[in-house]
Structure 1
Amino acid sequence: MNSTARIAPKIEDDLREKIIEQPDLILDDQDVMRALIAANEKTMGGNIVDLRGIAMERLEARLDRLEDTHRSVIAAAYENLAGTNQVHRAVIRMLDPVDFEPFLHNLSGEVADILRVDAVRLVLESVQNEDDPAIRKLGDVLHVAEPGFIDAYLTSGRNAPLRQVTLRQVQSGAGAIYGDAAGWIRSEACLKLDFGAGRLPGLLVMGAEDPHHFTPQQGSDLLAFFAGVFERAMRRWLS
């Protein structure tokens, strides 16, 4: 017998017993399993295809994709929950004032802060003169426009379908709506309002300095809910 023959090192007894008692510790550790598979491939030589190893690699890749999807779904769920809570708080705050003027001023104050937007404006179509003193008092929130203005604003004069909620990015806001703030508006949400039969429509516009705050790819369900609550609150003042 050759005394110089290499002797394979043995696993320490306590480690060996621990592996035997809890084999899942090895199976659940991806790095350890990769090392074992790599060692097994070396002993087989380069001319043998390990189908089990290939299958395991594919399963690992699939597991990684599933884990990524799982994390994305959880993140989206938390984001939706946060958005829902945000809109609910804004609705409660919006309904607090009992008089019309504080109701409108509240929109550009605490309601805008809760929704994290930089400007909120209400557009009403009317044949009434915008120079009316009552309207001028609300000039920082309210803009009165001629009939047909809202549809033209939403479609930019194009033959495009009208939606209750329009989310878009802009080069700058409309001066007629945002006033001095128009220059730094980069995205906006436009909520078309229906005040009932026989009344001209309205438009609630939320503007943001962040160009990614409102984009056409975003969901609009929460803003549609906000618009519905706002419509009902406005009908009380218009009745």
Structure 2
Amino acid sequence: MSSSSPKIDDSLREAIISRPDVILDDTDLMQALIAANEKAMGGNIVDLRGIAMERLETRLDRLEDTHRSVIAAAYENLAGTNQIHRAILRMLDPVEFEPFLRNLGAEVADILRVDAVRLVLETLQSDEDPALRRLGDVLSVAEPGFIDDYLSQGRGGSPRQVTLRGVQDAAPQLYGDKAGWIRSEACLKLDFGPGRLPGLLVMGAEDPHMFTPQQGSDLLAFFTGVFERSMRRWLS
């Protein structure tokens, strides 16, 4: 007496028996088998095992998504760390002040992928230094109090060491002819030691998402610390 159920192809049946893990590892195939099993049991039977498997699959999908997010964040952090390290090593190469500053606005800026770098030094002197004319595309001077006012945007208070924000109307005093293109900036407040006025290192980017308040600032804080110590050597 022949069975009413269609017979599976012998070669396919033998392949499944020899390698059952192929089916177990195929999510779509397993779901199809479970659905067929539920249909065969009828509508009056609740398959608790099937429900449990669905919940486990959902949890597994969530765990896999979290795992991918953690890995992506780790790679991004590693890439950012390597970028900062390369910029610092390049920044420390020059042994004279003017090459140090010019390098800052050129190769260091390229490594950091920013469109403008500007160093602002507060000073009590009103006479323009000849060095300022030579380095005007990287260095500018300002009156005492300018830096805190710029960082707080006139609201007062004590600015953070690192300020990341978007900008609409970038300051021409800082960015010169590039001001019209700058849409975000990183402002690094510099402490040159007791008895010295502060400084400000500004990095501007055309990308409005390059620097935002939601980003972490640990790496830029480290860069700030290294830059401060380098500048103290030049200012001593």
- The normalised TM-score by structure 1 is 0.93
Any idea what SS the aligned residue of 1:167 has? strand
Any idea what SS the aligned residue of 2:163 has? strand
Residues 1:210 and 2:210 are matched in the alignment: no
The letter of the residue matching 2:89 is I
| Distance in 1 separating the partners of 2:26 and 2:141 | 66
In the alignment, structure 1 segments of 5+ residues that lack a partner are: none
Identical positions, percent: 80
> CA contact under 8 A between 1:130 and 1:144: conserved in structure 2?
no
Write out aligned runs for 1:32-71 (5 A). Answer: 32-71=29-68
Q: 2:135 is matched with which residue?
A: 138
Residues 1:82 and 2:116 are matched in the alignment: no
> CA contact under 8 A between 1:172 and 1:184: conserved in structure 2?
no
Output one character per residue of 1:99-147: Cα deviation in whole Å (capped at 9) or x when no partner: 1011111111000001000000001111122522222221111110111
Indicate how the Cα distance of structure 1 residues 218 and 42 shifts in structure 2: closer, same or farther if over 3 A, else same. Answer: same
| Distance in 2 separating the partners of 1:31 and 1:130 | 77
| Distance in 1 separating the partners of 2:220 and 2:178 | 22
The letter of the residue matching 2:144 is P
Output one character per residue of 1:192-215: Cα deviation in whole Å (capped at 9) or x when no partner: 111111111111000000000001
Any idea what SS the aligned residue of 2:203 has? strand
In the alignment, structure 2 segments of 5+ residues that lack a partner are: none
After the TM superposition, which of the residue ranges 109-118 and 69-78 deviates more from structure 2? 69-78
The letter of the residue matching 2:214 is Q
1:161 shift after superposition: 4.3
The letter of the residue matching 2:212 is T
> CA contact under 8 A between 2:166 and 2:212: conserved in structure 1?
yes
Q: 1:101 is matched with which residue?
A: 98
Output one character per residue of 1:146-178: Cα deviation in whole Å (capped at 9) or x when no partner: 111111111111144421111000102111111
Any idea what SS the aligned residue of 1:97 has? coil
Indicate how the Cα distance of structure 1 residues 44 and 199 shifts in structure 2: closer, same or farther if over 3 A, else same. Answer: same
Any idea what SS the aligned residue of 2:63 has? helix
| Distance in 1 separating the partners of 2:158 and 2:124 | 25
- The normalised TM-score by structure 2 is 0.94
Any idea what SS the aligned residue of 2:169 has? coil
1:18 shift after superposition: 3.5
CA RMSD of superposed structures (Å): 1.6
Q: 1:16 is matched with which residue?
A: 13
Question: Among residues 165, 171, 174, which one is paired with 1:174 in the alignment?
Answer: 171
Q: 1:150 is matched with which residue?
A: 147
